[in-house]
Homo-oligomer: A and B are copies of this chain.
Amino acid sequence: MIPTPYLLFLGDAPDPLAAKVAQGIRDWRPDHAIAQFRLPNCGADMKLPDMTLQEAWDAGARTLVIGVANRGGVISPLWKEVLLEALTVGFDIASGLHNLLRDDPALVAAAKAHGRTLHDVRVPSVKYPIASGARRTGKRCLAVGTDCSVGKMYTALALDKAMAEAGMKATFRATGQTGILITGDGVPLDAVIADFMSGSIEWLTPDNDPDHWDLIEGQGSLHHLSFSGVSMALIHGGQPDALILCHEPTRPHMRGLPGRPLPSLRTMADTALMVARDANPECRIVGISVNTAAMDEPAALAYLAEVEAEFGLPAVDPFRQGAARLAEALAAV
């Protein structure tokens, strides 16, 4: 668990896209994000107060979160100076970078000297069990996609927000680095050892109130040749009561697999239900979330209407329309 609230480190991000982790925290956990720290020439701005390390500490921030991707896989000397100083002030540091904080001897030494923790969310910090397959109390919803990066995390976070607004009990359960940095905990599933994948998702979504929903962040796709095993473990470990199908209708082929088209929504629905019902015979698909960013408004609305008619289920783009209709669909389960 990463101590909150955060000071968001934007470094020398060349543009807003490079700071998308910070943006995710700002958008979805505004209470966690009390200030930003930028180096000269930073091209990103979260519209948060710019604070020094000491100012942010005095304002209550307890973890410096690296909210920016670094170039070339190296922590630059410019960054390093800030990180070392942050440990001195008293901050923990959290990072989803490929090159780990714990592999930097100077950071390790400084963290030890000041009694602080380096949170490398890219690697698991827990020894997960082998999945037991036991049923748990409470309800679970999983976002399943026709491809990687079609909006599964966004959908689950939008649903989390909509359910909170509707007074429903729900918890977003992060399974990827960005989601973990946004919420402060979760399972970095793509880095878990094969035998423990399903068990890690059982661990992440334990017994809960009967009317509580875990909103599990999906990963990959059951039809994606590189990552389908991860998607399979999510669905068998999560034992979802409800699935939300996520899709991006304009993509020419699956991410990283030229020549391999995405499955249709119908194929995806059939596959996901067949697999999910091994774990939970009551599982059903409750809605469809479409990423229509590449379409203009009339085309997007026409497409959503078409999908909704075909499946008889709410089909929405949560970015354009919010996720209230998906929350209603879960309330009806």
- Is B236 a contact of A279 with CB atoms below 8 Å? no
Q: Considering only CB atoms and an 8 Å cut-off, how many residues of chain A contact the other chain?
A: 38
* Contact status of A233 and B237, CB under 8 A, knowing A257-B133, A260-B133: no
| The residue from B191, B199, B228, B278 contacting A232, defined by CB atoms under 8 A apart | B228
A175 to B241: give the CA distance in the assembly, Å.
33
Residues of B within 8 A of A228 (CB): 198, 232-233, 236, 275, 278
Within the complex, the shortest CB–CB distance from A273 to chain B, in Å, comes to 12
* Contact status of A194 and B226, CB under 8 A, knowing A257-B133, A260-B133, A271-B274: no
Query: How many copies make up the complex?
Result: 2
Residues of B within 8 A of A193 (CB): 190-194
Closest to A254 in B: B133
Within the complex, the shortest CB–CB distance from A223 to chain B, in Å, comes to 5
Within 8 A of B (CB), among A119-134: 130-133
A190 to B199: give the CA distance in the assembly, Å.
13
8 smallest CB-CB distances across A and B, nearest first, come from A229-B233, A229-B229, A133-B225, A131-B226, A232-B232, A190-B195, A133-B257, A229-B232
